[in-house]
Structure 1
C-alpha cells in the first residue's frame, strides 16, 4: 500500500514538474505566417509561410485579386491586392501580447504596385496611414512594418483600406503570441522637466510600432522571435568617444522563465549576440576632469511630437565584480537615472543581462537623443550599452471605422435575417429623415450654384459635422471662430486631386501640405493633418483664431479651413519659393545673395513686430524657425504656422505656460522657467539670423560637441573673433564688413540668456534695416568683401513710428527711421 502511495506521489510530482517546465518554454507558434496572394507555401529565413488555400483564417476574397512577379525572394513573388476595404480575420486562442508583421514589396507588375496608397487598421487603431508600401531608404528591399499589441478578444481583423482612386496590397502577414511579460504594461514616462512618472493607462492600452532595434557594438543578427537587430554605428553622434567592446566568449545566462518583473532580462528579451557585444567609452585618462566630454550619444530618427517606447539593454561581462562601474543615462541632455550593475541579478555568478524601459515624447527635431556619461566617482570610469530598441506608441482613435460585416454562413443566417429586417426598418426611417433634411437644405440653398461634384470622400467614417462644432456644442465654446472661412471638403478634394501624391509639396509635424487650385482659380497651400489622428486639435483651433483676426503683408494669410468628417485642414496663400530653410542648406536650389537674405530677415522681423505690437493684445508666435518663414515668387518673406501662438501678457510681464517650440530655437529662459514673453520670439529669431549667415541647421548632432548647437557655437565664434570662419562660403565675398558687424551684434543681442537684456522686435527690425543700409547705401563697399574695414557712422535714431494697421495688407507695420550722420 505504501509503495502504491509513493508511486502516486511521484507521478503527481512529475506532472507538476512537466507543467512547470512547459510554462518556462516558448517556441514561436506556427500560426499565423501567410504567403499572401498565393495558394502555395514558401520558406523564408527558415520559417514556412503557408498559402491562402491552407490558411486557418478567413479573408474577404471577393474584394481582392492576386499579382505575381519573378523577384528572387519567394515571399515577395505574390501579393494580395485590395480594390476596396478588405480584411484578414484571425482566431485568437490565447490572450496576450501579439506581434504583427506586415510585408510590402511593390514589385513590377501591370497593376503598378508602387502607385498604391492605403491605410491599415485593427479595431480602434490605425497601424498605417497614407502608406505606399515602399521602402524609401532602399528601393530593392521590402518594407516590413512590425507592431506589438495586446489581444484579449476571440478574434481580430486586420483591415486594408485603399484611399480614393487607389488600392492596397500586402505580400505576407505574420501574427503570433509573444512570451509572457516580454513587454510590461507598467512603464515610466520621462519628461525633460519633471523626471519620470507612471504612464497613464499603461502600455497595453496602446499599440507599439518598431522604429529601430540596434545591436550596439555588434553585427546584424536575428533572434528567436524573428526580430532583426542591426549595427548602431550610423546613429552615433560622437563616434570618437566610443569603441566596440571585445565580444564575450563565455556563456550569458538570462533569467529563465516568462514572468520576470525586471530589470533582469529573460531568454527572450534579447539574444546573447546582443548581450555579448557592446559599445563602451574610450580609455579615459586619470587626469580627465570633465567626463561629460566622453559621453556616448545616439541620435535616433523618430516621428516628431509623438510618444516612443525606449528599451536599453545592458550586460557588464568585463568587470571583475559588480559596482565598479556606474554611469548616467540622459535623454535630450536631461538626466534620467544612474545605471549601476549592482541592480542586476548576479546570483548565478555569470554576466547578468538587464534592461530599462521608458516612454519619451519626441520633440520637433525628428530625433531622440540618448547619452551615457561616465561617473567620475566610480572605481572604473566607463559607460557602455549592449542594445537599444525604440518603438512608436500608437494611441487609439475613434476615427477607425468599425469592422466590416462578414459573409453569410450556416450558423448565422437567422441572426442575419433578423438583423436585415430590423436594419431595413431603421434604414427606411433614416432615408425618410435624410430626405426631409435634404429638402430643407436645398430650400436654403436655392441660389447656390449647381455642380457635378464627386461624392465626398469619407476617410474616417462618422458624420460630416466639424470638430470645431463638436467642441463648441459639447465643451466650452471656442470664441471668434470665423465660420465664413469654412471650405467644403469636396472643394479641397477637387483642388488637390483628392490629395494625390503628385500635389504633395511638404510635410510637417501637423501633417502633409498639398498644392491646390480652388474653383475660383486661386492657387493655395492645403495643410492636412493625418485623417482621424486626433492630434493637433488645439493647434488647429489656435491657427484659425489667430489668422482670422490679423492680416499683414509679412504674415501668411489664411484662406480658409475645413473640419468635416474628422478632418483638420488649413488653407493658406501659396508661397512659390517654399521655406527659408529650403534655400539655405541641404538644397539643390541656387544660393541666395546676402542682400536678399538681409531683406528676408527684415520682412520676417516686420511680421513678428506686428504680431507683438500691432495685433490686439499682442501675440507671441512661440515657434519661430527657418521652416516657418515662407517666400513668395519674389522672395518676399512671410511668417507662418501659428498653431503654438499665445496671446501676450496683459498686466503681467510674462505668460506662464508649458514649454512648446522647436529644440535648438527654444529660449533657454522660457525653457527653464516656463515664463513666456515676446523676448522668447526674439531669441528664436536670433537663431534664424545665424542660420541665414552660416547656412547650417540650428542643431546638427553630426558635428563635434561644441558645434552641435548653432546658437552656442555662433556666440563662441563671435567672442573669439572668428565669426567669419563659419559664414556661408557662398556669400562671404558679398558682405560689407560694417553690415556684418551690425548684423552679428544684432544676433548677439537676440541670443542673450536673460530676456530683459534682449532687444524688442522693433529694435531688431531697426538694426536689420540699418545693416541693409550699410550694405547698399553710401557706405557700401561690396568689392572689398568681408575683409573691408570701415568705421561705422554715427546714426541718430528718430522716433517716428508708422501706424500699426491690423487690417492693411500693404502696411509694413514697420518703424520708420531716419539715417543721418552727426
Structure 2
C-alpha cells in the first residue's frame, strides 16, 4: 500500500495538469503498482476515463501526469465537503458517464479490464461535470477465457462485492457492485457507511433495501433535489438499477451494457432486485469499515484454482514536458 500525493501543476505550454506522486517506496510492490497503472491507462482511451499525459520513473521518484480536472473528485461534492450542488440532470450525467466508462473497460476495449476500486474519490469531474474514472493502480487485465480470477483482496470496503471481499473472487461484477453503491451515494448525497446516523440508516445499501421493501424509495433522494424539480420515474428507475447492481450473487448482476440500456430506457427492466440475505446476517462495523467475517459462509467458492495474471506491455507515452508544481490538492491511498 503506497501513499500518493496529488498536486496541481503546469506544463511549459501552459496546460494545467494533475500530478500524481507516489511515495519513495523502493519495494517491488511500489514498482508494480506504478507499472500497472502506466500499462493500464496507456492501453485504453475513452471520454469517461482520465487521460495520462506523461510519466517519470527516476530513482525513487514515481510520477504520473494526468489531464487536470477542474471540479476535482466526486466525493468532495456528494459528501458535502464543498458548497457545490448538483441537480438531477447533472447527477444523471455523472452516473451514465461512469456506466459508459465501465462498459468500455469490461466489454468494448480491445482488452478486458476490472478497475477494482470504483468509488467517489476515484471519479474526477471536468469543467462541465463530465465524469472520468481515475486511479488504475489496482486495475487488472482480465483473460478473455476466464469468468473469474482468484486473487488477494485489494480495494475499499463498503464498495466492494462480498464474494471478492470474502472469497477473493474477482470479475467485472465486482465493479458493477461498486457502481451500484456509488449510484446510491450520488442520489442520496450520503456515504455508504455513516455511524453518526440512526442504526437502520448507517449502512446505505441496507437502508436502500428497507425503503424499497416499504415502497418508500423517494425517502432516499437528497432533499435538496426534491425542491429542484426532477422526473420521478427516472430517479426511481436509477435506484432500482442500483439495487440490481448490488445483488447478493455475481451472476445476478447485469452487465454494464445492459445497465446503460436500462438507465437510458432503451430496454425495460424485467428483473426485480433480490434482497441480499447477508444484510440480516449480523454484519459488524468497526471504525467506519465493514466486517464481512460474520457472513463468510454465505458464499460458496466459484473457483478452485487461481487463474494466471495477464500482463500487457505499456505503450509509449510522452514524458518530455517539464512540469512546474503548484499547490497540493489532496492525498489518498491506493487500496
TM-score band w.r.t. shorter chain = 0.7 to 0.9
Q: In the TM superposition, what whole-angstrom CA distance separates every residue of 1:264-300 from its partner, at most 9, and x where no partner exists?
A: xxxxxxxxxxxxxxxxxxxxxxxxxxxxxxxxxxxxx
Q: Return the TM-score normalized by structure 2.
A: 0.75
Quote the Cα distance in structure 2 between the aligned partners of 1:570 and 1:712: 38
Task: Measure how far apart 1:704 and its partner are.
Answer: 3.4
Q: Does 1:747 align with 2:242?
A: yes
Q: Does 1:523 align with 2:16?
A: yes
Q: What RMSD over aligned residues (CA atoms) do the two structures have, in Å?
A: 1.8
CA contact (8 A) 1:751 1:758 kept: yes
Give the secondary-structure state (helix, strand or coil) at the position aligned to 2:66: strand
CA contact (8 A) 1:582 1:589 kept: no
**Residue 272 of structure 2 corresponds to which residue in structure 1?**
none
Mapping 1:230-249, distance limit 5 Å:
none
Q: Return the TM-score normalized by structure 1.
A: 0.31
Q: In the TM superposition, what whole-angstrom CA distance separates every residue of 1:330-380 from its partner, at most 9, and x where no partner exists?
A: xxxxxxxxxxxxxxxxxxxxxxxxxxxxxxxxxxxxxxxxxxxxxxxxxxx
| Cα distance change, pair 528–726 in 1 and its aligned pair in 2 (3 A) | same
Q: Does 1:626 align with 2:117?
A: no
Aligned residues: 265
**Residue 680 of structure 1 corresponds to which residue in structure 2?**
174
Quote the Cα distance in structure 2 between the aligned partners of 1:649 and 1:754: 21
CA contact (8 A) 1:601 1:768 kept: no
Task: Measure how far apart 1:766 and its partner are.
Answer: 1.5
Mapping 1:413-562, distance limit 5 Å:
510-532=3-25, 534=27, 536-562=30-56
Q: In the TM superposition, what whole-angstrom CA distance separates every residue of 1:792-819 from its partner, at most 9, and x where no partner exists?
A: xxxxxxxxxxxxxxx9xxxxxxxxxxxx
**Residue 289 of structure 2 corresponds to which residue in structure 1?**
none
| Cα distance change, pair 684–532 in 1 and its aligned pair in 2 (3 A) | closer
Quote the Cα distance in structure 1 between the aligned partners of 2:51 and 2:20: 13
Quote the Cα distance in structure 2 between the aligned partners of 1:668 and 1:532: 30
Task: Measure how far apart 1:626 and its partner are.
Answer: 0.9
| Cα distance change, pair 718–536 in 1 and its aligned pair in 2 (3 A) | farther
Quote the Cα distance in structure 2 between the aligned partners of 1:730 and 1:612: 34
Mapping 1:203-602, distance limit 5 Å:
510-532=3-25, 534=27, 536-602=30-96
**Residue 661 of structure 1 corresponds to which residue in structure 2?**
155
Quote the Cα distance in structure 1 between the aligned partners of 2:48 and 2:84: 23
Identify the match of residue 758 of structure 1 among 253, 266, 284: 253
Task: Measure how far apart 1:586 and its partner are.
Answer: 2.4
Task: Measure how far apart 1:532 and its partner are.
Answer: 4.3
**Residue 262 of structure 2 corresponds to which residue in structure 1?**
767
**Residue 706 of structure 1 corresponds to which residue in structure 2?**
200
**Residue 305 of structure 2 corresponds to which residue in structure 1?**
none
Mapping 1:14-25, distance limit 5 Å:
none
Mapping 1:82-231, distance limit 5 Å:
none
Q: In the TM superposition, what whole-angstrom CA distance separates every residue of 1:768-807 from its partner, at most 9, and x where no partner exists?
A: 2239xxxxxxxxxxxxxxxxxxxxxxxxxxxxxxxxxxx9
Task: Measure how far apart 1:735 and its partner are.
Answer: 2.6
- Runs (5+) with no aligned partner, structure 1: 1-304, 306-508, 772-806, 808-822
CA contact (8 A) 1:540 1:643 kept: yes
Task: Measure how far apart 1:652 and its partner are.
Answer: 2.5
**Residue 736 of structure 1 corresponds to which residue in structure 2?**
231
| Cα distance change, pair 752–542 in 1 and its aligned pair in 2 (3 A) | same
**Residue 131 of structure 2 corresponds to which residue in structure 1?**
637
Task: Measure how far apart 1:725 and its partner are.
Answer: 1.9
Give the secondary-structure state (helix, strand or coil) at the position aligned to 1:536: helix
Q: Which has the higher helix share?
A: 2
CA contact (8 A) 2:218 2:236 kept: no
CA contact (8 A) 1:612 1:648 kept: no
Q: Which has the higher contact order (CA 8 A, sep 6+)?
A: 2
Task: Measure how far apart 1:700 and its partner are.
Answer: 1.5
**Residue 144 of structure 2 corresponds to which residue in structure 1?**
650
Give the secondary-structure state (helix, strand or coil) at the position aligned to 1:563: strand
| Cα distance change, pair 589–559 in 1 and its aligned pair in 2 (3 A) | same
- Runs (5+) with no aligned partner, structure 2: 267-314, 316-335
Task: Measure how far apart 1:565 and its partner are.
Answer: 2.4
Task: Measure how far apart 1:533 and its partner are.
Answer: 6.3
**Residue 115 of structure 1 corresponds to which residue in structure 2?**
none
CA contact (8 A) 2:217 2:236 kept: no
Task: Measure how far apart 1:524 and its partner are.
Answer: 0.6
Task: Measure how far apart 1:526 and its partner are.
Answer: 0.2
Quote the Cα distance in structure 1 between the aligned partners of 2:172 and 2:202: 26
Quote the Cα distance in structure 1 between the aligned partners of 2:205 and 2:143: 27
Mapping 1:2-21, distance limit 5 Å:
none
Which has the larger Rg? Answer: 1
Q: In the TM superposition, what whole-angstrom CA distance separates every residue of 1:500-543 from its partner, at most 9, and x where no partner exists?
A: xxxxxxxxx64111100111222110011223464633221111
| Cα distance change, pair 679–650 in 1 and its aligned pair in 2 (3 A) | same
Give the secondary-structure state (helix, strand or coil) at the position aligned to 2:179: helix
CA contact (8 A) 1:598 1:768 kept: no
| Cα distance change, pair 533–722 in 1 and its aligned pair in 2 (3 A) | farther
